[in-house]
Chain A
Amino acid sequence: MSNSSHAAADSGAGHDHGDQLSIWRRYIFSTDHKVIGVQYGITALLFLFFGYGLMAMMRWQLAYPGKPIPVIGELLLRVLGPDMADKGIVTPDLYNSFGAMHGTIMVFLAIVPLAFAAFGNYVVPLQIGAPDMAFPRINMASYWAYFVGGVVMLVSFFIPGGAAKSGWTSYSPLATLADPGHRFDGQTFWIIGMVFLITSSLLGSVNFIATIVQLRAKGMSWMRLPFFVWAQFVTAFLLLLAFPPLEAAAIMQFMDKVFGSSFFLPSGLVVGGTPFSGSGGGSPLLWQHLFWFLAHPEVYVLILPGMGIVAEIIANNTRKPLFGYKSLVYSALAIGFLSFIVWAHHMYLTGMGTKISTFFQTTTMMISIPSVIILTTMFVSLWGGSIRFTTPMLFALAFLPMFGIGGLTGLPLGLNATDIDLHDTYYVIGHFHYIVAPGTIFALFAGIYHWYPKVTGRMMNEFWGKVHFALSLVFMNLVFMPMFIQGLEGMHRRMYDGGASYAASPDVAYGLSLALKLNVAISHAAWFLGLAQVPFIINFFVSLFRGKPAPSDNPWAATTLEWATPTPPPHGNFVHPPVVHRGPYEYNLPGAAVEFCPQNQPL
């Protein structure tokens, strides 16, 4: 390893004066895809933690409505004032703010940047054998746009009136008129922050597609790309084409809020008992169309990179090729394509026409086919493998049933008739969290454990990794499984007191009052889930300095190109331009003399 590092330093020196850059240019305003990937990763992990924190406080209010939060309540009162946290109790406004910002932060500032930007930036150029992204400076601009967007979102908590409080979906007219006292309220900040985040992902996705199209190494044909690269490729297209309509919608909502237009405000609106004075004539349905035109593909933006990571890890740890690589690729493409024409299944309750509802119901059922193909090929890939139960593999294995639960519980929501009953209940919350939390987040943990030795040159501790895995798996399910029961009993997702006022009324259904009791158990599971991350956090930092040094450049005996670089990869990545001779997963091929064949090994 030390030899190759030296060689790399020599070759790096010629490129962009790699060795003479100041610390600022090298670590802060770097244009190197690996540094940007790590920057994205760390920022996104911090936001992930912050987003969890918001929910942990909300869960207190749901479990013990109207009681001050111990310790943290005092802090909230000092920082946000009595309007927001009177006597340390989460007020309804603050609860709504936390709810809206939990969604926004988790989706746009934590999971997407981590799954797409961080892993994509670090791994994609390495896996295709490229020296960097196609446009390094645009890559840096993408990170800083994301950073500014994140700062805007954080600042919005401290402005008069607090952060956005109309849900992460920001439906108008509610979102437009939520805070009539302030023209530049939390929602306006939300819009401005979103414009930065949209700009960031636009720059990122252009860069990813251009890189994958233009910079593949010699011999890296399309059907030799690792599945992770395919997943990122499709994801980039989703971001590229689905985000602009939300940007258009955000601009219009901005016009409504700041310049008093009525894009989303219908005629005849009455606000607080007085007729609304604006011109009216707008369409609230229009916002929902434009929002979900992004937000449904966004669901696949959340899950596809996770699937890519899991595929890589499964192939590597079963020591056999993925079953049906081509069907995986075509399924990912089909998902990408179909995800643009399913969005209105979020809108069955808007009074949209029945014919169009039927259309969207049909496409929604269709999109489950490629998703099931992907899941099935991954399950079948396990068959007959000599599985290594490493920490990344455990997370990847857990991803499969967790994603399965999340996906299958989504079917009743995609069907018109059943959705009317389940819409906006905790069932929905349980469903999409199963996809994103024990689904994508497990895939992301798997990815962190898997690529950590490549990034740092040291392994993470296996024992604490397994502790982290076991506790996370248990508590994830204890948090989200009871939500299905609550939802089926009809518990609404936005009840500030966790439904306590409902339970108190004499004619409430017996089942619902029972389901409400689950709130306390779920909250405890959620807090323990947070505690379960402590081994991970400690492991993450301690391994940086004390971790076992990676035994070689390729500690997992993997086949893809990122393991053919020096560790950690230098500026410019490869010592010699790699040439690809074979497919991505050549493990234990019949008749082969070696156990695995890296992609760059000549025939």
Chain B
Amino acid sequence: MEIPYTVEPRPDTGLFNAKVGIWLFLASEVMLFGALFSSYIMLRVGSDVWPHGMLNVPIGTLNTIVLITSSITVVMAWASLKLKAFGKFKLYQGCTVLLAMTFVIIKSYEYHDKFTHYFVRYSAGSEVKELTGHIEGSPMNWTLATLNNPTRPISEIRIHPDVASGEHGHDSGAAHPEVITVPTKQIKKLESFGPWHLTYLAIYFTLTGLHALHVIGGALVIGYFWGPGSRMWYSDPERFTNRVEVAGLFWHFVDLVWIFLFPVLYLL
């Protein structure tokens, strides 16, 4: 006996196997991201202060548009297969992969920006001062341990402090004319804006990191159907169309998660 309903739908459910499988998988994904969203709410409700305007909104908006565009190319690729236009399928599917890569590149630029953005607490005379900004030379993830590294000690850091927020809006990366030099021995605490710095950043990195993994995974699958996997079009076109549809369903879900992530993390 062969496994039935791999291509044609089962009469009473009206679905082929993989369609049932992908929706079950997406249901569990809903619970995964749902749990993280619930955690976000619980942490935010329970916190005394919740930072606002820490992310770059224009870049986030751009990335949203990239992902939405990739969603329509995915559905167009499937529709092209339904219309037996294999060339158009290749074009749309290729676009999807490129857009997915664009998304990941933009995302990693944003991550890089966070890892080169610092919080410093230091003593100046009798008072303790705090400031945030970029260290000259844009080093990544320095800590006090990096500065005090016995083999390569760094005696001072030069910081370009952030413009006080409220004056110039969101953009925390804007340069400030004044550069502050702080000797290492006066520094009490030095950390970049990674997940360790704030619970807000922790949930930001967790949610977007997990989402980015989904983007990469989806891009690999879609890329496979664009490349070597597309040979199946000649041997079993109907099954291939189903596969592209199922991969597309996953991709739309990834898009859908981002539709919620964007306002929740960037705007609110």
Contact A259–B10 (Cβ < 8 Å) = no
Name the prevailing secondary structure of the A interface residues: helix
Q: Is A252 an interface residue (CB 8 A)?
A: yes
On chain A, the residues within 8 Å of B196 by CB distance are: 259-262, 278-279
| 1/0 contact string of B185-210 vs chain A (CB within 8 Å) | 00000000011111101110110001
Binds B, one of A239-247, A498-506, A533-541: A239-247
Q: How long is the Cα–Cα vector from A293 to B31 in the complex, in angstroms?
A: 11
Q: How long is the Cα–Cα vector from A194 to B29 in the complex, in angstroms?
A: 17
Shortest CB-to-CB span from A248 to chain B, Å, is: 4
| 1/0 contact string of B25-54 vs chain A (CB within 8 Å) | 101110111111011001100111000000
Tally of B interface residues using CB under 8 Å: 42
Residues 235 to 286 of chain A near chain B (Cβ within 8 Å):
240-245, 247-249, 251-252, 255, 259-263, 278-283, 285-286
Shortest CB-to-CB span from B80 to chain A, Å, is: 27
Contact A261–B21 (Cβ < 8 Å) = no
On chain B, the residues within 8 Å of A531 by CB distance are: none
On chain B, the residues within 8 Å of A261 by CB distance are: 195-196, 199, 201-202, 205-206
Contact A134–B27 (Cβ < 8 Å) = no
Binds A, one of B1-9, B103-111, B163-171: B1-9
Other-chain residue from B3, B48, B210 in contact with A251 (beta carbon distance below 8 A) = B210
Q: Is A522 an interface residue (CB 8 A)?
A: no
Residues 64 to 91 of chain B near chain A (Cβ within 8 Å):
none
Other-chain residue from A248, A255, A574 in contact with B32 (beta carbon distance below 8 A) = A248
Contact A286–B195 (Cβ < 8 Å) = no
On chain A, the residues within 8 Å of B29 by CB distance are: 244
Contact B202–A135 (Cβ < 8 Å) = no
Shortest CB-to-CB span from B142 to chain A, Å, is: 15
Q: Is A420 an interface residue (CB 8 A)?
A: no
On chain A, the residues within 8 Å of B179 by CB distance are: none
Q: Is A28 an interface residue (CB 8 A)?
A: no
Contact B197–A214 (Cβ < 8 Å) = no
Contact B194–A240 (Cβ < 8 Å) = no
Other-chain residue from B20, B31, B203, B205 in contact with A213 (beta carbon distance below 8 A) = B20
| 1/0 contact string of A200-217 vs chain B (CB within 8 Å) | 001001110110011100
Asked whether A248 and B36 contact (CB < 8 A) given A202-B28, A213-B13, A240-B28, the answer is yes
Contact B24–A214 (Cβ < 8 Å) = no
Q: How long is the Cα–Cα vector from A237 to B28 in the complex, in angstroms?
A: 10
Contact B17–A210 (Cβ < 8 Å) = yes
On chain B, the residues within 8 Å of A15 by CB distance are: 1-2
Other-chain residue from A206, A210, A260, A572 in contact with B195 (beta carbon distance below 8 A) = A260
Q: Name the residue of chain B whose CB is nearest to the CB of A256.
A: B202
Shortest CB-to-CB span from A273 to chain B, Å, is: 20
On chain B, the residues within 8 Å of A215 by CB distance are: 3-5, 17
Contact B199–A263 (Cβ < 8 Å) = yes
Shortest CB-to-CB span from B110 to chain A, Å, is: 17
On chain B, the residues within 8 Å of A289 by CB distance are: 42
Q: Is B128 an interface residue (CB 8 A)?
A: no
Tally of A interface residues using CB under 8 Å: 50
Asked whether A244 and B46 contact (CB < 8 A) given A251-B206, A259-B194, the answer is no
On chain A, the residues within 8 Å of B38 by CB distance are: 245
Contact B3–A283 (Cβ < 8 Å) = no
Q: Is A290 an interface residue (CB 8 A)?
A: yes
| 1/0 contact string of A574-590 vs chain B (CB within 8 Å) | 10010000000000000
Shortest CB-to-CB span from B33 to chain A, Å, is: 8
Contact A244–B3 (Cβ < 8 Å) = no
Q: Is A573 an interface residue (CB 8 A)?
A: yes
Shortest CB-to-CB span from A552 to chain B, Å, is: 22
Name the prevailing secondary structure of the B interface residues: helix
Shortest CB-to-CB span from A295 to chain B, Å, is: 14
Shortest CB-to-CB span from A152 to chain B, Å, is: 19
Q: Is B15 an interface residue (CB 8 A)?
A: yes
Q: Is A132 an interface residue (CB 8 A)?
A: yes
Contact B210–A132 (Cβ < 8 Å) = no
Other-chain residue from B28, B46, B206 in contact with A255 (beta carbon distance below 8 A) = B206
Q: Is A131 an interface residue (CB 8 A)?
A: yes
Q: Is A136 an interface residue (CB 8 A)?
A: yes
Asked whether A290 and B3 contact (CB < 8 A) given A241-B27, A259-B195, A281-B47, the answer is no
Q: Is A11 an interface residue (CB 8 A)?
A: yes
Q: How long is the Cα–Cα vector from A261 to B21 in the complex, in angstroms?
A: 35
On chain A, the residues within 8 Å of B35 by CB distance are: 244-245, 247-249, 290, 293
On chain A, the residues within 8 Å of B3 by CB distance are: 130-132, 134, 136, 215
Shortest CB-to-CB span from A395 to chain B, Å, is: 33
Q: How long is the Cα–Cα vector from A243 to B30 in the complex, in angstroms?
A: 12
Contact B43–A283 (Cβ < 8 Å) = yes
Q: How long is the Cα–Cα vector from A241 to B26 in the complex, in angstroms?
A: 10
Contact B46–A131 (Cβ < 8 Å) = no
On chain A, the residues within 8 Å of B25 by CB distance are: 202, 206
Q: How long is the Cα–Cα vector from A573 to B198 in the complex, in angstroms?
A: 57
On chain A, the residues within 8 Å of B47 by CB distance are: 281
Other-chain residue from B17, B32, B42 in contact with A135 (beta carbon distance below 8 A) = B17
Other-chain residue from B31, B39, B203 in contact with A241 (beta carbon distance below 8 A) = B31
Asked whether A282 and B43 contact (CB < 8 A) given A131-B2, A134-B3, A290-B35, the answer is yes
Contact B1–A131 (Cβ < 8 Å) = yes
Shortest CB-to-CB span from A59 to chain B, Å, is: 37
| Interface CB pairs A-B, < 8 A, 17 | A15-B1, A131-B4, A132-B3, A206-B24, A206-B28, A207-B21, A209-B24, A245-B34, A251-B210, A252-B36, A260-B194, A263-B206, A278-B196, A279-B202, A281-B198, A283-B46, A574-B1
Chain B residues with CB under 8 Å of chain A are: 1-5, 10, 13, 15, 17-18, 20-21, 24-25, 27-29, 31-36, 38-39, 42-43, 46-48, 194-199, 201-203, 205-206, 210
Closest 4 CB pairs of A and B: A261-B202, A131-B1, A260-B196, A245-B35
Beyond contacts A263-B202, A281-B198, A293-B35: 20 other A-B pairs, Cβ-Cβ < 8 A, are: A135-B18, A138-B21, A202-B28, A205-B28, A213-B20, A214-B10, A214-B15, A240-B28, A249-B35, A259-B194, A259-B195, A260-B195, A260-B196, A261-B206, A280-B199, A282-B199, A283-B42, A286-B42, A286-B43, A290-B35
